[in-house]
Amino acid sequence: MSNMLKNFYGTSHMGYKRNRNEDRYLIKLLQDDRAILLGVADGMGGEPGGDISAQIVMDILQQYQPPAKTTEKGLADILEKAGKKIRRRAQEKTELEGMGTTATLAFVTNGTAYWAHVGDSRLYLYRDGELTQITSDHVFIQELIDDGTLSRSDAERHPLRNMLDQCVGCMDMIPDSGRFAFLPGDKLLLCSDGLTRQVSNDKIKAVLENDNARTVSEQLVKKALEAGGSDNITVVVLINNAILGRG
């Protein structure tokens, strides 16, 4: 087990400016330790029940049993199921009206990573020294970023940069999902925006050069705290090895 712990790790910190941690994460080994399920959820800051919403997603993810023929649709269905449960909870308790959460989920098996996503938590792939953001943020200004109207540096200062246009629990939610090859030496990073608001992609990439998942996770949280720690910070890291359905 000690060797395995070098290859995946998750951690969460409340940060310096919040009075509670509304982030949640999950790491669960499956299929005799030859597959792994990962998730990060960030309850909507300032909304009642943000932490409850994030926990609902993780509880449903915890119960997930991947079918023999895995597809990304199974992960998207988890988000749909969680969204319905969150809306029901809000209807039962009016003080929770408006509750919701982001969520980024991944399932890795047989050399493939499947993912589903809603909100502005993120999934990154680090491969051969390059960092690629797999997910797109569900924020109102994302379309402006995608068409080049707004540069990423300008987007970081835009007044609407943190305003979500989708969340788990919001009506008309449409999760993004997909899959990609997960090759030997690849690294996955799932994180809440408490990291990405404070730490640049270049700095994240530099930390991911390390080959110990715990070290990477703790160093990323440390950098977010050093930059101000203005939000909850959650990081989950997975490094490919023979455990993940190879051989």
**Over the stretch 34-85, which tens digit does the pLDDT of each residue have?**
899 999 999 986 667 999 999 999 999 999 998 878 889 999 999 999 999 9
Confidence grade of residue 2 (pLDDT, cut at 50, 70, 90): very low
pTM for the whole structure: 0.89
Position 100 scores a pLDDT of: 94
Position 45 scores a pLDDT of: 63
Within 10 angstroms of residue 53's Cβ, the number of other Cβ atoms is 33
Dihedral over alpha carbons 175, 238, 32, 69 (to 10 degrees): 30
Fold of domain 4-239: Phosphatase 2c; domain 1 (3.60.40)
Report the percentage of the chain scoring pLDDT > 70: 84
| Rounded alpha-carbon distances, angstroms, from residue 225 to 132, 144, 148, 164 | 23, 29, 31, 23
Check pLDDT > 70 for residue 246: no
Position 35 scores a pLDDT of: 92
Position 143 scores a pLDDT of: 53
Residue ranges per structural domain of the chain? 4-239
- Give the whole-angstrom CA distance, residue 149 versus residue 182: 32
Over the chain, what is the mean pLDDT? 88
